[in-house]
Amino acid sequence: MTAANVPLSVSWVSFVVVLASFLFMWTGQRWMASLFAVPSLAAVVVQYFFSAPQTDRSQLSRFLNKIEVGGHRGCSADAPENTIAAFELASQHGADAVEFDLEFTKDDVPILLHDADVDRTTNGTGRIADLTWAEVKKLNAAAKFKDGKAFPHTPIPTLDETVDFCMKRNLKIFFDVKAPDRRAVKVLTGLYKKHSWLYENAAVCSFYPWLVYEVKRADNKIITAHTWRRWVVTYADCES
């Protein structure tokens, strides 16, 4: 029996067992109702775990194969982070893969940005969630890099633009979803359907396990990973 047909089978078993429990309860046979309640609960647990999506191990092996050098936000020590310039430099230095951070503008355009605001890396100010794409594309992502003169005006790239670049350079991708934003689920799953190359050459990561789980639920062929960090999804969050 495969994982695909277990949930349906267990659902029918659960329905029959629960129905029997109610019948015994209705006829006053409480001990029989309790006896049926235990397997009913067990069936629900089995259904939950067997229906959980899983990554194909061979697919995962192909993705991880030959990843020896990775560029965190591109070659971010020598170029403005999360920009095409940084990915270009990473490729030139022999990177096999790059990691970059996904955020959304006010008008739902997926772009690359690590922080929740543009203050640290650009010549602009404000939360990315409050800025439109028309405003964001005017910003200089190299404005705060070193002395601000190492690179000419460098725009914040869109997600589509970056994926196209990585595909052309054969750079494997780690999508890091910075905020628990469900827009990322729709955007990323749509991107995978548009570019089948991503299934064996990209992974979706986040500090938020429910987000990567939603991605996996939406398309279980997508490789996902939970990036664990202290104070995130724990008792206290030192950042907020």
- pLDDT value of position 8: 43
CA distance 229 to 192: 27
Are 203 and 166 spatial neighbours (Cβ–Cβ below 8 Å)?
A: no
DSSP one-letter code for 10? H
Q: Check residue 169 and give its pLDDT.
A: 96
Q: Are residues 13 and 106 in the same domain?
A: no
Does 178 lie in the same domain as 103?
A: yes
User: Is residue 84 in some structural domain?
Assistant: yes
Same domain, 181 and 126: yes
Task: Please tell me whether residues 115 and 22 are part of one structural domain.
Answer: no
> Closest Cα to residue 72, out of 62, 82, 63?
82
| Structural domain span for residue 109 | 57-226
What pLDDT was estimated at residue 211? 92
Q: Does 91 lie in the same domain as 118?
A: yes
23 and 88, same structural domain?
no
Q: What is the distance between the alpha carbons of residues 56 and 155, in angstroms, rounded to a whole number?
A: 37
Give the pLDDT score at 148. 79
Nearest alpha-carbon partner for 22 in 43, 10, 11, 36: 36
- pLDDT at position 57, please? 82
| Same structural domain, 180 and 104 | yes
Is 235 part of a structural domain of the chain?
no
- How would you class 144 by CB atoms within 10 Å of its CB: exposed for 0-12, middle for 13-18, buried for 19 or more? middle
**Reported pTM:** 0.76
168 in the same domain as 125: yes
> Per-residue b/e over 16-31, b at no fewer than 16 CB within 10 Å?
ebbebbeebeeeeeee
Residue 160: exposure state from Cβ atoms within 10 A (0-12, 13-18, ≥19): middle
Q: What is the pLDDT of residue 179?
A: 84
- Asked whether residue 240 is domain-assigned, the answer is no
Query: What pLDDT sits at residue 221?
Result: 93
Type of residue at 108: D
Q: Provide CB contacts within 8 A for 199, sequence distance 6+.
A: 59, 192, 221, 222, 223
Task: Going residue by residue through the chain, which has 240 residues, state the pLDDT in tens, using 9 for 90 and above.
Answer: 333 334 444 456 566 666 666 666 667 666 665 665 666 666 666 666 666 666 778 888 889 888 999 999 999 999 999 999 999 999 999 999 999 999 999 999 999 999 999 999 999 999 999 999 999 999 999 999 988 788 999 999 999 999 999 999 999 999 999 888 899 999 999 999 999 999 999 999 998 888 999 999 999 999 999 887 766 666 555 554
